[in-house]
Amino acid sequence: AADARGYSIVHRPGKAIVDERAEVVAGLLAAPARIAPKYFYDELGCALYGAICQLPEYYPTRTEIAIFRDFRSEIAEAVGQGGQFVDLGAGDCCKAEAWLPFLNPARYLAVDIAGPEIERALSRMAPDFPGTELVGVVTDFTHGVDLEGLLDEREVTFFYPGSSIGNFSPEDARALLASIHRACATRPGSGLLIGVDGKKEKALLDAAYDDALGVTASFNRNILLHLNRRFGFDFALDAFTHRGFYNETAGRVEMHLEAVSEQVVKARGYERTFAKGERIHTENSYKYTPGEVAALLQDSGFTRTRRWSSPGDGYSVFYAS
């Protein structure tokens, strides 16, 4: 229940994660080495992501906001009033906040791995939404969404904006969407409102993930700062350079950190030499054509899909039920 602050916070351990540090060490021992993108979002990482969203090259956020604005009443009508609104990867909650006055949910669940970020957002929102129960769920949902005991029988709208679904492989995305569909199926009137970035010209995608100002490079390299502080690694920040590019064959943007010279990286129970030019894979951001999204939604159990898009279909918003 909400306390005097007007909101409450629940902490949930992620599914299938026994030991985060062991998971990170295993990724950094693998060939090629990898770090899961969820580690981008410490406090500085959240701020850098906010800055990315303001870059001239990074079009997804502002394109999606424009679609939401232009089709506000149509989308609101498709979604329906009241019930429960689940914001997956809520972050600063700004996108959901713009929807609440149009959807008037009885309960808003902000789900994110970044605890301080959603706590700050909910305390900001609390005075403006006295009629909505505000709940922050601090959890890692990369291995499944665990909302056990947090949803009642009322209809639920899942909100998954920003093309964050792109961080999952198509196979994992299907599994996540199927679990969302299962939660919808038992509650008539429920559905999923999701934003998905489209496949497009390589030059546009390359620029969006390797901007002239270097903010995306900082966002990428900050993951090392986070790992150093959180798990005791000794990554030299200036020894890894940002790579961000569209891999057309795979249909995804990839981000990597590339060693500028031979590097020995150590932590308790960990040591590895990275050769000059060797990369650590930090992110995939899959891009989907509208037809591919429709197929993903259908494979996940959704039977009705509506779509709103930007000119040229470069970005689309879907409501699936």
Count how many residues are written for the chain.
321
Q: Between 163 and 305, whose beta carbon lies closer to ligand AVJ?
A: 163
Q: Between 108 and 286, whose beta carbon lies closer to ligand AVJ?
A: 286
Which stretches of the chain bind ligand AVJ, using CB under 6 A? 52, 60, 162-164, 166-167, 209, 216, 283, 285
Q: Between 60 and 83, whose beta carbon lies closer to ligand AVJ?
A: 60
Task: Tabulate helix, strand, coil % of the chain (nearest 5).
Answer: 40, 25, 35
Q: Determine if residue 183 is left, alpha or beta; phi over 0 gives left, psi from -120 to 50 gives alpha, anything else beta.
A: alpha
Q: Between 136 and 162, whose beta carbon lies closer to ligand AVJ?
A: 162
With CB atoms as reference, the residue minimizing the distance to ligand AVJ is 285
Distance CA 224, CA 222 (A): 5
Residue 53: CB minimum distance to ligand AVJ, A: 8
Q: Between 129 and 315, whose beta carbon lies closer to ligand AVJ?
A: 315
Residue 165: CB minimum distance to ligand AVJ, A: 8
Residue 219: CB minimum distance to ligand AVJ, A: 6
Give the β-pairing of 305-309 and 315-320. antiparallel
Q: Between 107 and 252, whose beta carbon lies closer to ligand AVJ?
A: 252
Residue 285: CB minimum distance to ligand AVJ, A: 3
Distance CA 310, CA 53 (A): 17
Residue 122: CB minimum distance to ligand AVJ, A: 20
Which pair of structure tokens corresponds to residue 270?
């960990």
Exposure string for 45-78, b = 16+ CB within 10 A, e = fewer: bbebbbbbbebebbbbbebbbebbeebeeebbeb
Residue 208: CB minimum distance to ligand AVJ, A: 7
Q: Between 54 and 273, whose beta carbon lies closer to ligand AVJ?
A: 54
Q: Between 286 and 302, whose beta carbon lies closer to ligand AVJ?
A: 286
Q: How many CB atoms lie within 10 A of CB 11?
A: 9
Residues 6+ apart with CB under 8 A from 172: none
Residue 320: CB minimum distance to ligand AVJ, A: 19
Distance CA 285, CA 130 (A): 37
| Closest residue by Cα to residue 316 from 99, 96, 160, 102 | 160
Residue 76: CB minimum distance to ligand AVJ, A: 23
- What is 43-76 written as a DSSP string? HHHHHHHHHHTTSSS--HHHHHHHHHHHTHHHHH
Q: By the 8 A CB rule, do 239 and 265 touch? A: no
Q: Between 20 and 206, whose beta carbon lies closer to ligand AVJ?
A: 206
Residue 90: CB minimum distance to ligand AVJ, A: 12
Cα distances from 292 to residues 10, 180, 206, in angstroms, run: 35, 18, 21
Residues 6+ apart with CB under 8 A from 256: 242, 243, 244, 279, 280, 281, 282
